[in-house]
Structure 1
């Protein structure tokens, strides 16, 4: 019969603690082995040294190095090769092993924890890093119709060539080369308002500004039409000149 003598909370001896820890470690290892046995896992590519003078008898601290995350994951026999796959690589993971069996077991454990193989995966298949499917190349999107303003633009005529056009001007526009005497009206005639008298297939009449005359001249020049124009002092002079042109 069990008797409570007040010492039920006695401390466990160090040997008892060690035994329990050994049992826990053994159970954990057995569970890990069972998990790997029931889970399909891949195997790593085994890379020999890239150095032709590499000595397997002097391979460093470990003869096998698993690169789990890095540039070209796999199992390397030379630390010089393995270190180049993990140095300055963000998030890289690696570990050294004393035998190929241990390295393979470590890889399988990592596969169970991190790899996600597709349906139909065959156990022991050589590891291949998954890649996202490549989509079409990026293109620049068209502008949004909500941000585009449309303006009505009048088609402009081609520029007027600098060479002399098919036109006749009995008196050209005022020029800095003309003398004041040439700009004075004839004797006995009153100057009311200087204007442009124009004779063309599309327009016969008088305009008051040089800009209007230039527009008519440009439109006619774009269509290769003959234009005759004259700077006159008033409407009566314009009527007289147009009558002479028409006769």
Structure 2
């Protein structure tokens, strides 16, 4: 867990400088990209998970993370690497001293950040993060001969509806594809959701409602046609069942 050190007034030389007056005494690298007083720049938040009392004057390196969802100056490489390693577009730079890290942050600020007009020079940097909300898309049409037919009547409860029983269905293979329906019918979701059946008979392969499955089953029995049915809980399960049935025929 990283500790975020906010900027606060302090009398210790080892603490992070927090006010414009204390920052003016820090040396910067030669020939900065922009004069520091011409354009307001932000101050990086400092993160350290190694010690509870960090010092910007110790011998550890400084890792400025300039992009991503948590920008700032990290004192521990493990913390910084977790935000830049294998993360496309995130980048960092290491510095030997706090003064170099602070100057590098300011130059990056001048080059990439667009602070508002009322931004106070050398105040704490707060990154703006946006949440990517996925947009709804229309699925491409299926390449399989499987369609969902509209139900002819509202679904009745499972005790009163006429279900085609699996033991009366005929299979084209000893390894009956209808056994795949046991997983879906045993779940609580299938007992409360609208139930569908995959039906395969002469010249007809489709996914239908329970009432339509009963009608098709009765018609096939009356006409002495071979019919295979399987209760399914998803479109993928129906496709898998039809594929197995096709291979078995």
Give the TM-score normalised by the residue count of structure 1.
0.37
More helix by share: 1
TM-score (normalizing by structure 2) = 0.37
Bigger-Rg structure (1/2): 1
